[in-house]
Amino acid sequence: MTRERARQLAEALVGRMTVEEKAGQLRFDAPAIERLGIPAYNWWNEGLHGLARGGTATSFPQAIGLAAMFDEELMEKVASVISDEARAKYNALSREGDRDIYHGLTLWSPNVNIFRDPRWGRGQETYGEDPTLTARLGRAFVRGLQGKGETLKVAACAKHFAAHSGPEALRHGFDARVSEKDLEETYLPAFRALVDEGVEAVMGAYNRLNGEPCCASSYLMGKLRGKWGFQGHFVSDCWAIRDFHENHGVTAAPTESVQLALKLGCDLNCGCTYQHILRALELGMILEEEVTRSAVRLFTTRFLLGVLDEEGSEYDSLPYGLIECPESLALAHKAALESCVLLKNSGLLPLDTDSCGTIGVMGPNANSRTALIGNYHGTASRYVTVLEGIQDYVGDRCRVLYSQGCALCADRVEPLAQPNDRLAEAIAVAKASDTVILVLGLDETLEGEEGDTGNSYSSGDKEDLFLPQAQRALLDGVLAVGKPTVVILLAGSAIDLASAQEKADAILLGWYPGAGGGRAVAELLFGEASPSGKLPVTFYRNEALADMPAFTDYAMAGRTYRYYRGEPLYPFGYGLSYGDCQVTALSADRTRARVTVVNRGARDTEEVLQLYLRDEESPFAPPNPILCGFQRVFLAAGDEKTLSVPLDEEAFTVVTDGGDRIPGSGKWMLYAGFGGPDPRTEALTGRKACAVPLRITP
């Protein structure tokens, strides 16, 4: 069905409604209108890395882990599984009369905010710190969710528009002051890309942007519906419109908040403030035509989904048996394998069951289900922790000893015990083992959305980049034993692992790898597959925070790989493998690079070829080279391939201080490698990126 046809049907249907009925349809929990045959519909559903909060669903790695795959094709497949399961569940449950929250076809995903500050708890929901990577992965996710059928499989939603990335504790009243340059260069490109992709919905952020609340911003709506031509519907973040009068102070009463939001184009209210629409109408603060306009947009989406038209949707027959089917679980496993990032390997990995002897597994995340799933998660029918994955893999070939080692955040496991009550046990296990695997990190109770799980930290944000004190004591104690040690980090953001980098033999970042992620981690440890994930964010040392702009400062200078001038612990784009892959030749024009790559190692591996571009002369260019292309490639041992990689057109432009995007200088340096062209990557990998100058008339 075309949008024009869906709009015509929506206009005809809305035209038969009373004003009271139209007003009720602008709430996220829209009631039925029985006289018109319209069933109740709850617009609120989540699909960040699997269907969330609505029962059983396939569990994929958290979004930040999906970003680490640098794999658009797999990202689209992941999103397609999520939308298949959403349709299958909707089909089955609506037949039972269940039209509850989290069971609809409007998925409020993906989150394409930029992970600009490593303290932000919700950064785990994003695709990292780079606008190009975020845009390309976000577009792939939207394609997978919405499908290619005559109707939408589900409606995707780009959130949170715009310039939203903490602090969580301040979000309901915070005013993000952002320059036109940073908006155009960093915060808006991914949203524009998703609009170009045809995303059906956009969600406004809680905060204000340069004085205007994001859910009622003339500036943002001018971009969205004006310059970009967005045709879908706009939804507020949940209870964000109530913030207008309760926290932002831009209005004095709920009716004024209704007036501001509705006039500026917020069609759907997640929250309760639009219950005051009829009162605002009575007072003459809004027009019925404005209510009608939003209702038509919302019913256009419902017709595009094929849930109101008599012809239905080609997806109506998707069966409930698709939920957690073997093919989907296999895809989740592949995603987990691709997402893990090998940060250090002195030669200990991959482990050999014939020689690793007794394995000591310890740490608060070693046997934690919570550490597998991140936030915004569904329910899996089976979980495989890292400990269980190792036990299952080695079977009776190796003895596996286990100690929790410490609590995740508290100073003791048992309330009546003394501090560090599991530390001695962990050290005893380390001494009794030939190989030690120490599993540390965070989970959604420590980092995440404000108030989401009663976060132990500052409303879900981190106060620093260190592991909790109890985990640091465990790390130091176990490393002091001196056994060959692998540190595994399960977390959704940058952690200062300087001590482990100095003393451990290997470090593997597993992110939140999904419900079955322990199996993937084990297979990587024992060489069934080679690690191939790359960092979509910079890992800083904690002291870097002192030189970084304040958390409340949205200026990009001094943060992310494009603007950071210090030496990171691990750079953006970094990640090791078990192969020895190198770039041997590079040539390019403005649209494509031709890159020859070879695996000189003895093991097959997947790798991520990355291309970066630096404008050599423009005063408006970022100081460091920026990502302009990437491609995942499989290289068997000894293989050589020549790849043709498309280059991002906007990489050849720069943004002025006034926010105008203009051609670059015409003199660029293009870099190709399996990491970024920075000294830290060179030091960690022992090789430089291949570089060629480009001279192209703007």
Q: Where in the chain is CATH 3.20.20.300?
A: 3-318
Task: Say if strands 29-30 and 661-663 run parallel, antiparallel, or are unpaired.
Answer: unpaired
pLDDT given for residue 698 in this prediction: 66
Mean pLDDT, range 31-53, rounded to an integer:
98
pLDDT in tens, 541-585: 999 999 999 999 999 999 999 999 999 999 999 999 999 999 999
Helix (H, G, I), strand (E, B) or coil at 608: strand
Mean pLDDT, range 365-370, rounded to an integer:
98
- Rounded Cα distance between 656 and 437, Å, is 49
Task: Say if strands 400-403 and 435-441 run parallel, antiparallel, or are unpaired.
Answer: unpaired
pLDDT in tens, 290-312: 999 999 999 999 999 999 988 89
In sequence order, what are the residues at sequence separation of 6 or more whose Cβ sits closer than 8 angstroms to the Cβ of residue 430? 360, 362, 436, 478, 481, 483, 485
Check whether 608 has a pLDDT greater than 80.
yes
pLDDT given for residue 571 in this prediction: 98
Q: What percent of the chain has pLDDT over 70?
A: 100
- Rounded Cα distance between 78 and 83, Å, is 9
Check whether 91 has a pLDDT greater than 90.
yes
The H or E element that residue 489 is part of is strand 485-490
Residue 216 carries which DSSP code?
Answer: G
What is the C-alpha R_g of the chain?
25
Quickly state the pLDDT bin for 452 (edges 50, 70, 90). confident
Displacement of CA 118 from its chain's centroid (Å): 14
In sequence order, what are the residues at sequence separation of 6 or more whose Cβ sits closer than 8 angstroms to the Cβ of residue 88? 318, 319, 320, 321, 322, 323
Q: Where in the chain is CATH 2.60.40.10?
A: 581-695
Helix (H, G, I), strand (E, B) or coil at 561: helix
pLDDT given for residue 454 in this prediction: 72
- The overall longest dimension of the chain from CA atoms, in Å, is 80
Helix (H, G, I), strand (E, B) or coil at 629: strand
Structure token pair of residue 176: 């993000």
Closest CA to 176 of 556, 685, 602: 556
Which residues carry out catalysis? 237
Name the pTM for this structure.
0.98
For 392, list phi and psi in degrees, rounded to 5: -65, -40
pLDDT in tens, 635-663: 999 999 999 999 999 999 999 999 999 99
CA atoms within 13 A on the CB side of 479: 20
The full DSSP string for 22-78 is HHHTTBSEEPPBGGGTBPPEE--BB-SSS-BSSSB---PPPHHHHHHT--HHHHHHH
Burial 524-548 (b: 16+ CB within 10 A, else e): bbbeebbbbbbbbbbbbbeebbeeb
CA angle 270/276/277 to nearest 5° reads: 90
| CA dist 201 → 107, 281, 348 (Å) | 9, 26, 48
Strands laid side by side in the 233-235 sheet: 157-161, 201-204, 233-235
pLDDT in tens, 102-159: 999 999 999 999 999 999 999 999 999 999 999 999 999 999 999 999 999 999 999 9
Displacement of CA 384 from its chain's centroid (Å): 22
611 close to 688: Cβ distance less than 8 angstroms: no
- The structural architecture, per CATH, of the domain 340-537 is 3-Layer(aba) Sandwich (3.40)
Residue 247 carries which DSSP code?
Answer: I
- Rounded Cα distance between 322 and 339, Å, is 24
CATH number for 581-695: choose from 3.40.47.10, 3.30.2020.30, 2.60.40.10, 3.40.50.12160. 2.60.40.10
Mean pLDDT, range 421-445, rounded to an integer:
98
pLDDT in tens, 320-360: 999 999 999 999 999 999 999 999 999 999 999 998 899 99
Helix (H, G, I), strand (E, B) or coil at 114: coil
Domain 3-318 has CATH 3.30.365.10: no
Q: What percent of the chain has pLDDT over 90?
A: 97
655 close to 185: Cβ distance less than 8 angstroms: yes
Mean pLDDT, range 260-268, rounded to an integer:
98
Check whether 263 has a pLDDT greater than 80.
yes
